[in-house]
């Protein structure tokens, strides 16, 4: 496994691989790898000749009230996990390496961001597309892998690739769940014992909503109300949002249409959980 820290070395090395007609699978992360990341690496390993993992805590996607300095970091641990997962190259640049000077061009995402989590994180996705544009140009991937746990990010990335004609296939990877359905997340450890038991209702409410929409037993507003009531009555969590939107455009829909997403965010005492489910009618 090769570790590269310099952008010029990364781009030069990946260009050589590209000319050798090797397929390149890319998993961009901010490190502190967990089971979700490892599932993306496993998929990339199965579908490509070369697997590249980037680890970079991107300051541009942190808001004023989000503490960049406390974001968890453990490169030695990540390196070991990457080695075990069969990663070929880790790209591990510093902030100074990625952003050596102030940019003369700024990317501004205008669609798919003013809903769900993006509504309360202005500018966040501008930072995401900026770093991904740089990473895509450095890594030159054939395919890039993103987990559907953050379905809004996947939608934004798909828009970036389409709008700027990146020759990259974006691979949507399913949410990894516990045996009882709770979406796996490093944040789950912050749930109390009782909250952990209650949190299962999030998945159940999504499943019930999906079935109701697919069977056309309820309209969209009725399903949103049903999910809200189910979570409120069966947990101590406070709902941030329950939304049913088109996917990947993330626009309001009045009637059931071909592809939609049901997305929820619920706050417990020390953690905010998100989950979602796609519906294909």
Which residues are catalytic, by number? Answer: 37
Helices 75-85 and 35-47: angle between axes, nearest 10 degrees: 40
Nearest partner of 247 among 227, 277, 217, 273, judged by Cα: 277
Whether 75 contacts 91, CB under 8 Å: no
For every residue of 163-224, DSSP letters joined together read HTT---EEEEEPPPB-TTSPBP-GGGGGS-HHHHHHTHHHHHHHHHHHHHHHTT-S-HHHHH
198 is in an annotated binding site: no
147 is in an annotated binding site: yes
3: β partners: 90
184 is in an annotated binding site: yes
Three-class SS string for 38-72? HHHHHHHHHHCCEEEEEECCCHHHCCCCCCHHHCC
Q: How many CB atoms lie within 10 A of CB 219?
A: 14
148 is in an annotated binding site: yes
34 is in an annotated binding site: yes
Residue in the structure block whose two tokens are 């409120």: 232
32 is in an annotated binding site: yes
121 is in an annotated binding site: no
226 is in an annotated binding site: no
176 is in an annotated binding site: yes
149 is in an annotated binding site: yes
124 is in an annotated binding site: no
User: Which residues are annotated binding-site positions for (R)-pantoate?
Assistant: 61, 153
Binding region: 30-37, 61, 147-150, 153, 176, 184-187
Annotated binding site for beta-alanine: 61
């Amino acid at each position: 496994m090769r570790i590269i820290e310099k952008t010029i070395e990364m781009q030069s090395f990946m260009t050589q691989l590209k000319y050798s007609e090797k397929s390149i699978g890319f998993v961009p992360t901010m490190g502190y790898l967990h089971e979700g990341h490892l599932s993306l690496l496993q998929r990339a390993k199965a579908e490509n000749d070369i697997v590249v993992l980037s680890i970079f805590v991107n300051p541009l996607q942190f808001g004023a009230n989000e503490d960049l300095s406390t974001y968890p970091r453990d490169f030695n641990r990540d390196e070991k996990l990457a080695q075990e997962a069969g990663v070929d190259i880790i790209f591990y640049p510093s902030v100074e390496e990625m952003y050596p000077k102030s940019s003369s061009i700024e990317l501004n995402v205008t669609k798919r961001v003013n809903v769900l989590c993006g509504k309360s994180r202005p500018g966040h996705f501008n930072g995401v597309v900026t770093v991904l544009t740089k990473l895509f140009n450095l890594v030159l991937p054939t395919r890039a892998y993103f987990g559907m746990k953050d379905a809004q990010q996947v939608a934004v990335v798909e828009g970036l690739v389409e709008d700027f004609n990146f020759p990259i296939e974006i691979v949507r990877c399913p949410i990894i769940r516990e045996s009882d359905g709770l979406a796996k997340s490093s944040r789950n450890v912050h749930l109390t014992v009782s909250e952990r038991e209650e949190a299962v209702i999030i998945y159940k409410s999504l499943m019930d909503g999906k079935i109701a929409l697919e069977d056309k037993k309820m309209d969209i507003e009725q399903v949103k109300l049903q999910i809200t009531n189910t979570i409120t009555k069966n947990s101590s969590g406070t709902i941030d949002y329950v939304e049913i939107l088109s996917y990947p455009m993330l626009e309001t829909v009045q009637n059931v249409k071909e592809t939609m997403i049901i997305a929820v965010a619920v706050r417990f005492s020390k953690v905010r959980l998100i989950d979602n489910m796609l519906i294909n009618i």
